Amino acid sequence: MNPDKSPKKISACVKADSFPVAVIALLIVVAAAFAAIGMVEDPFSLFHPVEETDLTESEEAELLPCSELTLSGSTTVKPVSDLLAEAFMETHENCIVSVTGGGSGAGISSAGTGIVNIGSASRAVTDEELLKYPDLQTHTIGESAVVVILNGIEGNFTDKNELIKAFGDSDGQVDLVLDEKNGEIHVNKTGSSFQVFQRSDESGTEETFASYLGLGKNLDGYGAEGKLGNDGVLAAVENTSNSIAFVDFGFAERSKKVSIAGIESYKKTEITNKSIKAALAGTGKPFPSENSTLTRPLNYLTKGKPDSLEQTFIDFARSQDSVYIFKECGYFSIREIN
């Protein structure tokens, strides 16, 4: 007898082949029963294979690589960027946005060299910088203004020359004399009762203020003590009795320890959120005068055309949904101005 034809092996083969056939037959019967009572329209839909793309797309969505967006530059823009980054990451879970300061000059150079995705500056890019970084593109997200702050005296600098004397003093200390009759502040350089502060870092805030005074690109060499960033300057004035400095309007407005000085045609009581917004929008008198201004833009900068992630973040910064962030920082969104 051929061993391969033994009854035992033949029986085993029949059982192995018959099992799936029996199972399939049973499933068909069950499907037909469901169809009979209306639970399944197509009995054979139970046997349709799951499309591979469904699982694949789901897995890809969960395993998307984390995207990183880096911003650096103006300390004036940084408070806005910090809040924008936080809000952006809430709706873009696979994206990490990191923000650092360094000043407007650093923001322009880091964007121009491609060190960061987006640079920030609280001033326009100069012709010299554009020659150095010809691929730079500017994206204005808002505007603001620079104001003079005081601790220990309140009044108005109706004559800009008094400000020039104060910040152009060689030893960084001046006497501020208030004419109580008309509220005007005058500078007596023979005394040394008021401490003068400026910015120690490369700053669009200082460049705007120095340009307004006609003292060049910055106030270095004039004797005022330097502090880092708007926060550093504000803290120095808050903690120093009889002191004077300049900061962005948003920083001065939120402080309860300093007063905002009037400048030229603006009395101190007129320098408000509403009046500066009107000046920026062109619906109010210029701040502070016709010939020179302390207003400036808040800009994002990219090396060439933004990629999709950079453009998405810039669009978010310029959107109506982000207006509240600018208001919280004391600035004005481009949506409020245009």
Q: Does the pLDDT value for residue 249 go beyond 80?
A: yes
Rounded CA separation 20/15 (Å): 9
Helices 78-91 and 308-317: crossing angle in degrees, nearest 10, is 110
Rounded CA separation 82/80 (Å): 5
Residue 38: pLDDT band (50, 70, 90) is: low
Task: Select the more confidently predicted residue: 18 or 132.
Answer: 132
Spatial contact of 89 and 95, defined as CB atoms under 8 Å apart: yes
CA atoms within 13 A on the CB side of 197: 28
Rounded CA separation 262/154 (Å): 9
Other Cβ atoms less than 10 A from the Cβ of 143: the count is 24
pLDDT above 70 as % of the chain: 79
Rounded CA separation 287/327 (Å): 19
Distance from the Cα of residue 93 to its chain's centroid: 18
Helix boundaries (H) for 63-97? 78-91
Q: The tokens of 206 are what?
A: 């200082």
183: Cβ–Cβ under 8 A, 6 or more apart, which residues? 155, 156, 262, 267
113-139 per-residue burial string, b: 16 or more CB within 10 A, e: under 16: eeebbbbbbbbbbeeebeeebeebebb
- ∠ CA 213-124-238 to the nearest 5 degrees? 55
Q: Classify residue 77 by its DSSP letter.
A: T
Partner residues linked to 246 by β-bridges = 148
Q: Does the pLDDT value for residue 54 go beyond 50?
A: no
Spatial contact of 136 and 129, defined as CB atoms under 8 Å apart: yes
Q: Does the pLDDT value for residue 27 go beyond 90?
A: no
Q: What is the pTM of this model?
A: 0.70
Q: Classify residue 13 by its DSSP letter.
A: H
Spatial contact of 99 and 325, defined as CB atoms under 8 Å apart: no
Mean pLDDT of 37-60: 44
Q: Is 64 exposed, middle or buried (0-12, 13-18, 19+ CB in 10 A)?
A: exposed
Spatial contact of 147 and 234, defined as CB atoms under 8 Å apart: no
| pLDDT for position 7 | 43
Other Cβ atoms less than 10 A from the Cβ of 60: the count is 9
Going along the chain from its start, the domains and CATH numbers come out as 68-144+296-336 (3.40.190.10), 145-293 (3.40.190.10)
**pLDDT digit string, tens, across residues 75-102:** 889 999 999 999 999 999 899 999 999 8
